[in-house]
Amino acid sequence: MCKNETRRELEKLMRKKSTVCLLFLKNRIEVLDIYFLVNCDNSNKSIGEYYAYEDALKRVKTITEIMN
């Protein structure tokens, strides 16, 4: 999937209460994580970005463990 197609797919998934982290690895693997807020009243952009990024990094770790 090319970057433009991936972006369009992400835009379909996006809501006001979600944060998306998409990592492109050097070996052409794409890692996607989405952090959803349950309550919009407690929305905080930096918290959503933090958890989406941390979860994506956990997925990268899992992928690298499988590949080794």
Mean pLDDT of the chain: 79
The neighbouring-strand residues paired with 22 are 32
Count of CB atoms within 10 A of residue 36's CB?
Answer: 12
Q: Does this model's pTM top 0.85?
A: no
Closest CA to 9 of 20, 42, 56: 20
- Are 36 and 52 a contacting pair, CB within 8 Å? no
Which of the 8 DSSP states describes residue 41? G
Give every residue of the chain whose pLDDT is below 70, as ranges: 1-4, 10-16, 38-44
Q: Where are the alpha helices (DSSP H) in 1-68?
A: 3-13, 45-67
Count of CB atoms within 10 A of residue 21's CB?
Answer: 20
pLDDT at 60: 92
